[in-house]
Each structure stands twice: as C-alpha cells, then as structure tokens.
Amino acid sequence: MKLGIKKIHENDWQLHIDRAFIHLDRFSLELLCSNLEHLQAMSLGQQGSILAGYIKLAEKILEISDEDAQLLLRNVDNNDVLILIKSIDKTEINNKIMQNVGLIIAKQLSSDSEDSLCPSEEEAIRAIKNITEKIFELEMAGKIEFLNKDSKFI
C-alpha cells in the first residue's frame, strides 16, 4: 500500500492512500498527523490521548506574533479561551494568551479560571478545535502568519 502527502497549493494538500486521493486543508492535515501519532502510540502499547493531539495543535499559538495572537483572540469566543486555559498545563501558551487578550479580559479570565471547574475532555476538545480552526482560517486568509526560529524578514 502506498501512502503519501503532497502539497498542491497554500491550503490544499493531497493525501494518497494506495490509489485513492483525498484533498485536505491544512487544519485537517495537522489533525490527521496528530491522530496518526496517537494511533502509533496505541499500537506500541503506550497510552495515547486525543486531547493531547489537540493540545499539540493549540501550540500553534506560540508560532504567531503577538499582533497576530491579538487578532486571533478577538476572533474567538472567550469561553473557548477560558476552557483552553483550564484544559492545558502549558505556561507558555497561557502566558501568550494572557499577554495578548487585553487587560480587562485577562483579569476576567484569571478570575474565571480560579472559580470554574476543570472542563470535560469533550468540552476541551471542542474549544481547542474552535480556536485552532480559527488560527488556520486566519492564516489561510493571509491575516496572520506562522513564524518559526528560521523566519527572517528583509
């Protein structure tokens, strides 16, 4: 069986499975890779978590600039942001969110995160999915850009 992934355009990827071709957007491709890692871990007898795959997708927030993070946070539901903060134990992501969400909302999120219960896995997955879909949607529209340590500007 042949398996491959080919980039067609900026947000268009083609997945080859034997003789079948499936077109995917970048979010779906990232989600597929995360789920494949989960399945591989399970096949090796290790503990795998679907939520951990979504949290890995949420780490894309660290790959955008502060200005882009502010744009993202203006375009997502604050309840989803609160659930994201409560669901993950990643200080870097929480700091990036709190630094870019605005002072008043940051105080409200801090207060709410102390008062509210930890969300269920289904709620966490839904919230993270909503936020990461918006990241890829804004990136596809050219409104934000993923940066990495190798990014250089002239």
Higher pLDDT, 119 or 10: 119
**In the 8-state DSSP scheme, what is residue 117?**
P
**CA pair distance 63, 48, nearest whole angstrom:** 24
Confidence of residue 71 (pLDDT cuts 50, 70, 90): very high
- What is the number of other CB atoms lying within 10 angstroms of the CB of residue 67? 10
What was the pLDDT predicted at 118? Answer: 85
Instruction: Report DSSP state, residue 64.
Output: B
Residue 20: in which H helix or E strand, if any?
A: strand 20-24
Question: What value does the mean pLDDT take over residues 2-29?
Answer: 80
User: In the structure, what pLDDT confidence band is assigned to residue 2 with cuts at 50, 70 and 90?
Assistant: confident
Average pLDDT estimate for 124-150: 88
Note the CATH number of domain 48-144. 1.10.220.30
> What is the Cα–Cα distance from 121 to 51, expressed in whole angstroms?
7
Three-state secondary-structure class, residue 19: coil
Residue 19 has pLDDT above 90, yes or no: no
